Amino acid sequence: MIHATSTITGKGQIQLPAEIRKAIGADIGDNVIFIVQDNKEIVLKLIKKKKLSQLGGTLKSQVKFKSIDEETENTKEIWVNKRVRRNYNGENMD
């Protein structure tokens, strides 16, 4: 069992001592839930932040994604069309 103390600041904030953070595996950006029990004891629960890699596939999409080759060709076509329009309108891109 680990015992550690922390002081409440003038803004009502506390800092979790390093030994507590290490013991529970808390990282920057994680959330802590404070639960006050009937006997006024406080229980802390750690909520780990989600990593971007864990969120893959959580959003459903009706759009079929194109391949990299298709995207590259579309980008080239858009760029060429813009250049042709600018040259046609008498604008110089250089």
The average confidence (pLDDT) of the chain is: 86
- High-pLDDT (> 70) share of the chain, %: 86
User: For residue 33, what are the β-bridge partners?
Assistant: 45
Q: What are phi and psi of 46, to 5 degrees?
A: -90, 130
pTM (2 decimals)? 0.49
Amino acid at 1: M
Map residue 42 onto helix, strand or coil: strand
- High-pLDDT (> 90) share of the chain, %: 59
34 burial type by CB count under 10 A (0-12 exposed, 13-18 middle, 19+ buried): exposed
pLDDT tens for residues 7-49?
Answer: 999 999 999 999 999 999 999 999 999 999 999 999 999 999 8
Map residue 90 onto helix, strand or coil: coil
pLDDT tens for residues 59-70?
Answer: 677 777 778 899
